[in-house]
Amino acid sequence: MPIYEYRCHDCHRRVAIFWRTFSEAETGEPVCPRCGSTHLTRLVSRVRVVRSEESRLEDLADPSFLSDFDENDPRSMARLMRRMADEVGEDLGPEFEEVVDRLEAGQSPEEIEKEMPDLLGEGGEDLGGDLEE
């Protein structure tokens, strides 16, 4: 039972149409549910592929994953962090988003640590990296 997205040329809306069968979707005439127009163009929709955790971890371990990473460039760090978060597929919270936003703006990790002292939690526990004291 496919769901296809269309752009209506009359009301300029993006609409999704549910078809009962693939053959009905191929031969049927789509009608805009908003304005009733038949002047629609089918769009290419996003596709999500379900992957195993093992597959995602393999991608993270691939050396090409780090091919464009420059540890001296905050923006490069931000790109890598976003890609890793996408691979993990979880919301990592507002603190993560703020750190990545600051890196994308060109702020250094050291500046971020000074401005966000609570980032490491109570007492500044080590979260896996070595911090200079």
**Closest Cα partner for 11 from 30, 49, 37, 29?**
37
Based on the fold, state whether residues 37 and 57 are members of the same structural domain: no
Asked if the structure places residue 48 within a domain, the reply is no
Based on the fold, state whether residues 117 and 60 are members of the same structural domain: yes
* Domain total of the chain: 2
pLDDT tens for 29-81 read 999 999 999 999 999 877 777 778 888 788 888 888 888 888 899 999 998 88
Asked if the structure places residue 129 within a domain, the reply is no
Distance CA 61, CA 56 (A): 9
Asked if the structure places residue 90 within a domain, the reply is yes
Based on the fold, state whether residues 60 and 16 are members of the same structural domain: no
Confirm if 66 and 48 have CB atoms less than 8 A apart. Answer: no
- Domain residues for 82? 53-124
Based on the fold, state whether residues 108 and 80 are members of the same structural domain: yes
User: 82 burial class (0-12, 13-18, 19+ CB within 10 angstroms)?
Assistant: middle
Q: What is the pLDDT of residue 122?
A: 52
Q: What is the pLDDT of residue 126?
A: 43
Based on the fold, state whether residues 28 and 65 are members of the same structural domain: no
- Report if pTM > 0.85: no
Asked if the structure places residue 130 within a domain, the reply is no
